[in-house]
Amino acid sequence: MPPSSPTSPSSSSVGRRAVLGAAAAAVPVLAGVSTPARAAGTSRVSPSALPGGGDLGPNVLVFDPSTPGIQAKLDQVFRQQESAQFGTGRYALFFKPGTYNGLNAQIGFYTSIAGLGLSPDDTTINGDVTVDAGWFNGNATQNFWRSAENLALVPANGTNRWAVAQAAPFRRMHVRGGLNLAPSGYGWASGGYLADSRIDGQVGPYSQQQWYTRDSVIGSWLNGVWNMVFSGVQGAPAQSFPNPPYTTLDTTPVSREKPFLYVSGSEFRVFLPEKRTNARGVTWGNGTPRGTSLPLSQFYVAKPGVSAATLNQALAQGLHLLLTPGIYHVDQPIQVNRAGTVVLGLGYATLVPDNGTTVLKVADVDGVRLAGFLVDAGPVNSATLLEVGPAGASADHSANPTTVQDVFVRIGGAGAGKATTSMVINSRHTIVDHTWVWRADHGTGVGWETNRADYGIVVNGDDVLCTGLFVEHFNKYDVQWNGQRGRTIFFQNEKAYDAPNQAAIQNGSVKGYAAYKVGDNVTVHEGWGLGSYCYYNVAPSIVQHHGFAAPNRPGVKFHDLLVVSLGGNGQYEHVINETGSPTSGTSTTPSTVVAYP
């Protein structure tokens, strides 16, 4: 039998340190494969105005069942992207509705694969959408930045393999069989996120250290290592943390699925799923999903090289933004001021700030949807990279919240980068649904001061909900939560590996900054299934007082907390505040707290 836990005391930490593979050249335009993705009704506008709609560019490949040589084209993209962890290639692979036979779509870095139907069952692949770790000797802990959405799969051998780490969502998928989340050989794995999906058979995480599943249907779930969290999942295992380490919520308090591209006749449109409260199960199980849609003609279709001024002109005109795959440099913030604006990235479109600017700012308005892009810090320090709402935002957005989904942040790794705070959430009722905010521990431009980044996410707004929160390696607090009535369902954290000594992390009289800090003035807060790991490999004698810090009052509640020392490189004295046993030795055995206070 395969192991149900990692076979070595090391974990995601050790696996991520190596830098493998240089950036490859861009895949050439694949003649006969990339269907011109032009909206049927491109807007008619005055010469001075920017047009809506348009071609999606050479790195969006659109297939239909009659396209010749699909497997060869998939293999060509994968050969380039398989090990290009910090490369410049960005690709979106789209499949029009229909049936495709005998495919194995291997998905590498910065590659997204998706169906173009309204339901996953509109687009069936008799075959697999595969992530494995052959490029990294069977270690899946660096399989970042890739995604699968809106497809039905009939796996060739009955089980599809999706062995990923952070920033690799599996959304809106129907697997007519099982799903294996571990690499071949059951090596280390550190993911992951699954939402709005139906897995008819068994989900086998095997060596996955942690996983979050939301609003889905599964046949069964095999095992757990440290932290498996479920909300709104039919077929989820019963609550049993810490043994097995299952945290199970019957429903998700509020959710609204990510916007997605689809085809209607000859026209591309973007579907906007509606908000659900106390959600359970998939959104698409009974035919057409509930929500609204927009024609591509209402989007400014951005290409790499466009200026921030042009993006802001498009937004001021009332257009939404569709960011086609590539890398964009912005020298001023992208200003989202209009309620209901959609900013949707394809193929891990990447935004890089120049001269220390903030990349994107959202006004205190209803219903903005940010989805599907990567923010990569620049070499000049940015005070912030992404701001949802201005300081002091106070409007009630409960009826139509802003959502931040599959929006990822990276500080260093692809080159020198700095930012004091990565993401600031000021607007009330914001939903952050799956993010990975990462101060790099490997790659280029990495060092305690080289890619300095003090705070990952700061939440000032009230009534904010995070579902699937991954924040790692910041110099001070990874998460600092100042707003009232905040909620987090699933949190995964590693403290910064590279602290040079105990003094470097000293927080006044406290040893180290908590991974997740609830502000002293907060009276109501709740979290479920939160984990923090330390791997102080530069100075293994470092002691971290606790992983979590919060006011000790009845309205501030935590369920199912854990801290882990990876291989004994650093230790925790407590789990939360002064509660919870210390970690010790090299066994990587979690110290847990089931309920606090």
Contacts of 165 (CB under 8 A, 6+ apart): 12, 16, 140, 141, 142, 143, 144, 189, 190, 191, 192
Instruction: Report the chain's mean pLDDT, rounded to a whole number.
Output: 92
Length of the chain counted residue by residue:
597
Residue 443 phi, psi (nearest 5): 105, -155
pLDDT given at position 425: 99
pLDDT given at position 107: 98
pLDDT in tens, 274-292: 999 999 999 998 777 899 9
Tell me the C-alpha distance between 220 and 247, whole Å. Answer: 15
Tell me the C-alpha distance between 521 and 524, whole Å. Answer: 9
Contacts of 161 (CB under 8 A, 6+ apart): 128, 130, 131, 132, 180, 182, 183, 184
Q: Are 5 and 587 in contact (CB under 8 A)?
A: no
pLDDT given at position 460: 98
Tell me the C-alpha distance between 430 and 356, whole Å. Answer: 25
> Using H for helix, E for strand and C for coil, what is the string for 484-512?
CCEEEEEEEEECCCCCCCHHHHCECCECC
pLDDT given at position 47: 54
Q: Are 370 and 404 in contact (CB under 8 A)?
A: yes
Neighbouring C-beta atoms of residue 373, cutoff 10 Å = 23
Q: Write out residues in the chain with pLDDT < 50, as ranges.
A: 1-45
pLDDT given at position 25: 26
Q: Are 189 and 207 in contact (CB under 8 A)?
A: yes
Nearest to 145 by CA among 414, 403, 385, 378: 414
Radius of gyration, alpha carbons of the chain: 22
**CA distances from residue 264 to 44, 57, 94, 300 in whole angstroms, order as listed:** 20, 20, 14, 19
The three-state secondary structure class of 80 is helix
> Using H for helix, E for strand and C for coil, what is the string for 378-393?
CCCCEEEEEEECCCCC
Nearest to 74 by CA among 102, 116, 37: 102
pLDDT in tens, 187-246: 999 989 999 999 999 999 999 999 999 999 999 999 999 999 999 999 999 999 999 999
pTM score above 0.85: yes
CA dihedral 399, 345, 486, 353 (to 10 degrees): -130
pLDDT given at position 286: 78
pLDDT in tens, 314-361: 999 999 999 999 999 999 999 999 999 999 999 999 999 999 999 999
Nearest to 434 by CA among 217, 177, 147: 147
pLDDT given at position 48: 85
Query: What residues are labeled active site?
Result: 494
Two tokens, residue 299: 């989007």
Contacts of 441 (CB under 8 A, 6+ apart): 13, 16, 17, 472, 473, 494, 496, 497, 498
CA dihedral 547, 553, 554, 556 (to 10 degrees): -40
Q: Are 382 and 353 in contact (CB under 8 A)?
A: yes
Q: Report how far Cα 114 is from the mean position of its chain's Cα atoms.
A: 16
Residue type (1 letter), 259? P
pLDDT given at position 288: 75
